[in-house]
């Protein structure tokens, strides 16, 4: 059930829950995420960025895989281009059938970010594809950008940005960063800023750098209005940990069984994450409840 990311996030926005957007660079990750979503009766967003597509997650190979897997399940699945910046790459992804593209102009001067984001939105909407923009700048954890308040999203400017670009979701900078934080560190999020952004914009908000943010921060972020949470580093780590555990038990293990172990580890990680952010049980009748809100 491959759908627009807008359809997924509009429901999350109305009902105050989060949806996991997992960078998935091979069939094992895609299958782990989508089958976890089916078992949890949860929506999910599959995504990868231009660098990942160049190195390993080739769009011409991954898109048919994700379409096939999505056709087997009874929950909504979206396919997102993460952190797109090059016009031709973004247009190619829209043409291939991505159901959302993120245009990241956060490092550009404000007016140029507005101009380019509006162009991408007009292009994508004409093809039934939704768009995520970014205002403020979510930097790198190893450079301690999470603590640089100069990079945080300004609520007043965000309203102008949304109105001028027509985007469907906005990635905001409130204290997270991409990559792995120094050992033992949990970022401090600006929840007051988040509440003001939600009250001002009333659209789906996106948290980049969800890895390593801690369960308490994630729950509070969702309660404050975050609807999409990007996860890459923690998902990669879940697969790596599962593989290393199997090697430790059996150094002679073959490659196929390592791949199977990684997939199982990522699948369990995704299911646990969905419970934390409140998306479990959203797409089923009967007595099932949203685990994150119980």
Give average pLDDT by consecutive 10-residue segment, the chain, 294 residues.
96 97 97 98 97 96 97 98 97 97 94 98 97 82 54 91 98 78 72 94 91 85 96 96 98 98 98 97 76 44
* pLDDT reported for residue 204: 98
Q: Which of 11, 82, 146, 168 is catalytic?
A: 82
The alpha carbon torsion through 242, 247, 250, 255 (nearest 10 deg) reads: 90
Residue 23's SS3 state is strand
In the DSSP assignment, the letter for residue 99 is S
CB 94 within 8 A of CB 101: yes
Looking at residue 293, what is its pLDDT? 46
146 in a labelled binding site: no
Query: Among all chains, which residue has been given the structure tokens 């790459």?
Result: 89
pLDDT of residue 136: 84
Which three-class secondary structure state does DSSP give residue 20? strand
User: Cα 126 to the chain's mean position, in Å?
Assistant: 23
The pLDDT value given to residue 178:
62
Residue with tokens 């995704």: 270
Question: What is the reported pLDDT for 280?
Answer: 97
179 marked among binding-site residues:
yes
Q: Is 232 annotated as a binding residue?
A: yes
Ordered structural domains, the chain, with CATH = 5-277 (3.20.20.70)
Query: Active site includes 82?
Result: yes
3-state DSSP helix/strand/coil % of the chain, to nearest 5? 50, 15, 35
Q: Are 232 and 23 in contact (CB under 8 A)?
A: yes
231 known ligand binder = yes
- Whole-number pLDDT of residue 287: 57
178 assigned to a ligand binding site: yes
């Amino acid at each position: 059930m491959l759908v627009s990311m807008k359809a997924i996030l509009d429901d999350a926005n109305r009902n105050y829950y989060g949806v996991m957007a997992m960078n998935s660079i091979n069939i094992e990750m895609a299958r782990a995420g989508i089958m976890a979503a089916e078992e949890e009766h949860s929506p999910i967003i599959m995504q990868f960025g231009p660098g990942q597509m160049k190195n390993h997650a080739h769009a011409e190979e991954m898109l048919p895989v994700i379409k096939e897997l999505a056709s087997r399940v009874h929950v909504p699945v979206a396919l997102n281009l993460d952190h797109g910046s090059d016009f031709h790459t973004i247009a190619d992804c829209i043409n291939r059938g991505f159901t959302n593209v993120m245009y990241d102009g956060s490092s550009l001067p404000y007016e140029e970010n507005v101009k380019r984001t509006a162009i991408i939105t007009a292009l994508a909407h004409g093809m039934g594809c939704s768009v995520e923009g970014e205002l403020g700048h979510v930097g790198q954890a190893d450079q301690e950008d999470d603590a640089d308040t100069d990079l945080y999203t300004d609520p007043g400017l965000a309203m102008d940005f949304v109105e001028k670009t027509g985007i469907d979701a906005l990635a905001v900078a409130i204290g997270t960063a991409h990559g792995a934080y120094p050992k033992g560190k949990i970022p401090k999020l600006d929840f007051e800023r988040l509440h003001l952004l939600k009250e001002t914009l009333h659209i789906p908000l996106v948290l980049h750098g969800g890895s390593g943010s801690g369960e308490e921060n994630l729950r509070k972020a969702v309660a404050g209005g975050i609807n999409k949470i990007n996860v890459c580093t923690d998902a990669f780590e879940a697969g790596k940990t599962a593989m290393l555990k199997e090697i430790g038990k059996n150094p002679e293990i073959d490659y196929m069984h390592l791949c199977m172990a990684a997939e199982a580890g990522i699948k369990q990680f995704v299911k646990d994450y969905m419970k934390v952010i409140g998306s479990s049980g959203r797409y089923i009748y009967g007595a099932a409840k949203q685990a994150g809100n119980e």
